[in-house]
Structure 1
């Protein structure tokens, strides 16, 4: 990193890892140190294929970002929540999703309806990978260079590696997916810092301990930097929710709706939710560091028909190509509806639905 004298930042005291006996998902681990050889990439591509076809989530290790820098990024991630007044947060909470499909920059607490009249207790801030495209609270500005470098690392070192492996798993040229992830438009790739706050016992009971309903991400690839508070769960093919275990300095990667569109249902968007942590962590806040990515906004979300793999397994597009949305249209519609539209009961137990662009979007509770 080019910065020589880093500005001081208050330390965020994270929770100790839980000692609870939880039913963890058995996720594959993708070792990026093996990317250097064609043989290594081929082996990793097979691992990614199997991971996306089973859980839809996998760990990434040996990515090259030092643990010390990762720890500092979590300290920086807490700044917009702990060092910014509510009044200043509101100044930067203009919601521009009607046009762009994302929040600039804060999503404040109690904006979304969760269930039974209970509203959310989380807030987050989105930071475009070009930090100069938007305004930021004063306390965060000294950390612009580090956040921008962090975004560049996620994009070039992690996202592109994962996209190359997915392309290989589809027997496409390695750069087939990289080419449509330039992500130069506002909100097409961004860092998100998110903080969950403990809720009352009454709210936990009303929502069955669910903090964020089961859902898929609207983009292509989501990168979550592992943190110790156990709250993330994924829905298995057997209908059971399993926890995602914290792995120090590992990344947790999952596919979203765009990958589902592009692969004709072969790699589906992964269903995940956030629930109340186990008892030994319930007094702590949960701080998350993410990198969300989407294809370029003008990419039409139709299957990659040229993939030999998709030709063999069969392509099941989510809609006719003639009415398929662009990435910008899809993320805008998803953002405009989430937590604000009236959901209808589904025939599936514990599932609610909304209709977006003629397509059924499911929410799992």
Structure 2
């Protein structure tokens, strides 16, 4: 893929990588340069399978965009935040509670984080069909490039889904067929900007910017950026940082993939916290592709998997009570950061029930 260099866009200057000595998670690397052959996909499927079964995250390299092309996409990602006047943004606010959708702006201080502190995160979310909603005037010149970029992300998604199907010894298109480009689903690009908080709010919130959570959809594709803040809850029970890898992707499974894989692929708990000291005065700009299966898919374990026949299915609900993607997605979207959570018997864990599924949040 080639990202068009026109029209010009103001350059976003990210923070330099941290120099602090952090404890990083050890993640597998999937090299998409090997994905063009059946032999290469078989090799990559083993890496992806083990990563999502044991940890829930992995890196992707050689994804098809050069470093300058990726940098231009980050420049474009900043446009909704730095170029659109604040007074114009409410026109494009997402109907998060009303429609259970993030399409449009999520303003700052919308989610409750911890200790009475609201978030300082602004997001702008664009459906994979970029013409589905109207966008701010300042962003419109870049929509053709965003459309190409979104399609490229979906192509990467399809490759990931094929690898995960191979890992379960299913037909390669088993999961691809549940994520149609032209189907009714909520696959979208999120541009996401974190702003520094006051020292008082950091103390009240315990340095947490987003509570530990699992993603709602099937696969999340995060374009790596240099501000360290993302952590995962590793299998040993410790929070570990995700290392920035230049021009790489960070991939994780969400709840829908965990359900569809009978618990084999783990929706790993992750959180965002205050960056290291040498990055704390910088904004953190992110680009994420959130993939979700088609709205009418019932979240049942894949049938016909020899792997699941051997290891068994880990159920979060009985098959007869399985929600559809639409009901589960809308419920999670509308409730996140807005509902009063109940304290679990386990220290530091709060819970809510969405479409019959117990959803946990971690402080």
- TM-score normalised by length of structure 2: 0.97
Question: Which residue number corresponds to residue 160 of structure 2?
Answer: 162
- 1:227/1:288 contact within 8 Å kept: yes
Out of 12-21 and 83-92, give the one that drifted further.
Answer: 83-92
Rounded Cα–Cα distance in structure 2 between residues aligned with 1:181 and 1:296: 6
Relative distance call for 1:72 and 1:88 in structure 2 (3 A) is same
Question: Which residue number corresponds to residue 17 of structure 1?
Answer: 17
Number of aligned pairs?
363
Deviations 1:88-121 (A, max 9, x none): 111100415433x212300000111111110000
Relative distance call for 1:287 and 1:320 in structure 2 (3 A) is same
Aligned CA RMSD, in angstroms, stands at: 1.4
Question: Which residue number corresponds to residue 341 of structure 1?
Answer: 339
Question: Which residue number corresponds to residue 116 of structure 1?
Answer: 115
Rounded Cα–Cα distance in structure 2 between residues aligned with 1:152 and 1:304: 26
- 2:179/2:185 contact within 8 Å kept: no
- 1:3/1:145 contact within 8 Å kept: no
Question: Which residue number corresponds to residue 152 of structure 1?
Answer: 151
Question: Which residue number corresponds to residue 197 of structure 1?
Answer: 195
Relative distance call for 1:267 and 1:5 in structure 2 (3 A) is closer
- Listed as ranges, the gaps of 5+ residues in structure 2 are none
Q: What SS does the corresponding residue of 1:131 show, helix, strand or coil? A: coil
> What's the CA shift for 1:40?
1.4
Question: Which residue number corresponds to residue 178 of structure 2?
Answer: 180
2:259 equivalent among 258, 261, 282: 261
Q: What SS does the corresponding residue of 1:36 show, helix, strand or coil? A: coil
Rounded Cα–Cα distance in structure 2 between residues aligned with 1:235 and 1:5: 39
1:316 equivalent among 298, 314, 319: 314
Rounded Cα–Cα distance in structure 1 between residues aligned with 2:184 and 2:166: 29
Out of 288-297 and 351-360, give the one that drifted further.
Answer: 351-360
- Listed as ranges, the gaps of 5+ residues in structure 1 are none
Deviations 1:296-337 (A, max 9, x none): 111110001211101110012211122211111111000111
Is 1:133 matched up with 2:111?
no
> What's the CA shift for 1:36?
2.0
Q: What SS does the corresponding residue of 1:7 show, helix, strand or coil? A: coil
Rounded Cα–Cα distance in structure 1 between residues aligned with 2:64 and 2:102: 30
Relative distance call for 1:15 and 1:332 in structure 2 (3 A) is same
- TM-score normalised by length of structure 1: 0.97
Q: What SS does the corresponding residue of 1:138 show, helix, strand or coil? A: coil
